[in-house]
Structure 1
């Protein structure tokens, strides 16, 4: 929070429904419906379209002043009907907003009423995502959990198949997912990736509507997997659910950024297959890091953004010999704080850590620390311009550069 007053100034996080939309959009033939004002849906579409350079469909119940007072039941019933008629999705995710959570709309009861009166093939799930309850990382986590919980309900585990579940984090780009799929295919490892944003967030030219993503039928198979691999915290709650209910063991990994974190992933894959992976590629990376050392060593660095991505970039910067002076996570808990402290173990220099901060507080710290470089999303560009500090753009959102979504 800012020291100027008791409000957040330019928050260092995104809205919780945004994360839910990002997860749902990685499911094949899915559609997100925001139960709230029209402005919420417009805001989400704008940010997603600017970052990924792709059109996004996000429906809205378009609540008005009257609905804010008397409830949005009629608006939501009408919206569900219109979306199903207009899009015929296999999955419709109804995502709540601050408005509907504050007035107390019983969304589950409204959906139940709709299902009783209408026999439709569309699967409908509800996701509670008030932004005052956390940022987009928690909306993403809730959406992935609700997907697993809904589609594995009633499943009886009577076998273990030769495939694994992979839960990707909200900080993964479509290019990251495509590369991961190529690695798995080269090793002949069958995997259910949840959510699969490799094409739904990066559509091939000439295809107006790309319905690719994780199949619902594959989500229903997840209880029969040999194990789950979880990148970051986005899918951790879902993996824990599969373990508690079906005994599917899981491994939690940091984002594979830098040598140490990527080695952790490859070591697991090598143990699974007995193959030796990417020795030459790893050696070339080490060689490139050695070549860059004279330019990067000792450079005072500020890293900010969503916690899992910040943790991975921090680890990589330390491997490059850089000097992190400030790590800021606008939407992090004490658990993330401890994770970053673990990454900094053995680091001789002092590094200031902020969590739950806004950009106003971050700017004041940066003025005092005088870093050489900033690493984070486009929301830090005003600080970069004002203080004349170079900004390396990474993470979400990136509004002012083309191709940021493929980093």
Structure 2
């Protein structure tokens, strides 16, 4: 790989990405490092992060507010896809990576940079998500990954930064590795690396411990139009505001915790803790509304599409032709997915207890066992005869062969 003159670095303000600034300049021969910090609703002081990058030697420090984009262009399609990796993880961190990759590419093109960089290590999924997404968006850009190459421990990285005048307020960092955006938090490392260890309450920030949750259930009503969340408890709101409020409401009841052994793309298993209160509730509500408004064959076929979709997003293939094709299928299914779902939140659970829709395919007149029953029971006998015919023919042939 040739030398890069100007690089846009994905910047979080942490030790690794801060050390990346002098490392890129002194070890990779980069002349100018431009940092880019993305506001994804994580609540950090991004102005302080901007200043920190300049102090560390960045030629320019960019801060981009992309929370609304994360919600509208990445979270909403994932909700419509009922995206749960390995049927558990709602991709709260994975969804942010293709967006950050796009911000890096856009900034590089605007700044005339010939490369982009990130602080991912060689063991995680994020390196794949960044590298593949950047390559899909602009194949001509170089991708630099200093932390994948330098082989330094956290302490050695701090010492390297100090050689170039960097100071770090806390040298003994938390044992946990945490990523946070509006969609959720991911927590790993430290004591969590032993899958037998129960997570301590100190790792959680969005969800209350069950012992601290209200004793009285709380009900929320979520409205959807064409598969998009549009209201909370009867109030029309943006998806962004619904996520914010629902994170607080569901989190108060301890809803949204996930503790799983996850299969990483790089071939290893990792123990992951996630908090995603609003995203999990919205996916559950949306899936339930689909059961009311979609035909059986579409609903059942879509389950396989959802699994493929979740795996593609997890594996960093957001900008892939198969993902685009699945998007088209999912979009087509959503036209009739409108209505309201009522969810009961209590002691860590989110239970769907009601649903209604003007597009409902459910007919009480056909389903009831009461006097208003309109189902033609006499038609069932002929249906069963035809439906079971192949099985009976097979059984008769089997008996003849014995």
| TM-score, length of structure 1 as denominator length | 0.25
| TM-score, length of structure 2 as denominator length | 0.26
- Decide which structure has the larger Cα Rg and report it: 2
